[in-house]
Every structure is written in C-alpha cells, then in structure tokens.
Amino acid sequence: MSSPGAGADISPQEAYDLLNKWMTESTKVQGFLVTANGFRASVLGTVIPLPEGGIGVVLDRNPPLTTFFEFKPGLAARLKYGDARIFPTDQISEIPGAPTLSSSLGFVFPDDSVVTLFEIVDWK
C-alpha cells in the first residue's frame, strides 16, 4: 500500500476542475511518473486532454507529440492536492535552476505507481 504522501485528499471533481483550469490557461507544469518498480520519468510542458479519458503533459501542443506522457486520472485510487506550503522553500531555493512551484496534484494508482503534476510559477 502506498504512503498517504504530502497534501490533502481531494475529490475527483476537484482534481478535474484543477486539470481543466490548467488546460484552459495553458499552465506550465512538471509531470513526474514513479512506477511501483521504481522507474522514474519527468516531462515539462502543459496539460492537454487525450482520447478515452486520458490526460497528457506535452512539451509542444502541435502534432506530432514528440515529448509527452499520458495517464488516465479516472483509474487513480487516490487523489492528492498540495499548495506552496508543502514545498520546503529553504531547501528548494538552494538547488540551482529549481523552479518556483505553486501547487501539486497527485494521482496514486492501485499498483502504487504515482503521477504528480507540479504547477510552475517561475524558473530561477
């Protein structure tokens, strides 16, 4: 069983509303994928809707989609939200090139894989 993680549990509707806001406003996000067996991947881009309930994080919205990852939020077992209070600014500010983060939306899947989208306010 996965750990509860940082942030608060949110409803599927609240997660959908935030995703929709990010899509509408073309908000820059950093998407992280960590699978149950330890594979990790990250993509910087914007959130777009994909067929069959999928969500994508894409570097460039114009086809062909060359740098992206896709997941299906509806398959998540848990949804988590965190705002700027979960980011340790005293530690992040010490990392050269670290972005300023505003919020995060996490999707924990039944196999304990996790997708987290971090809203980026600014790059340092």
1 in any annotated domain: no
The structure's pTM equals 0.81
Domain holding 67: CATH number?
Answer: 2.70.180
Within-domain flag for 3: no
Question: Tens of pLDDT along the chain (124 residues)?
Answer: 344 456 689 999 999 999 999 999 999 998 989 998 989 988 889 999 998 999 999 887 777 767 788 999 999 999 999 765 554 555 445 555 556 667 889 999 999 999 999 888 765 5
Among 80, 92, 91, CA closest to 120: 92
Asked whether residue 78 is domain-assigned, the answer is yes
- Asked if the structure places residue 96 within a domain, the reply is yes
How confident is the model at residue 3, as a pLDDT?
A: 45
- 20 within domain boundaries: yes
2 within domain boundaries: no
Residue 61 sits in which domain range?
8-123
Count up the domains in the chain and report the number: 1
What residue ranges in the chain does DSSP mark as E strands?
A: 8-9, 28-34, 40-50, 54-58, 68-71, 78-83, 99-108, 114-123
Residue 56 inside a domain? The answer is: yes
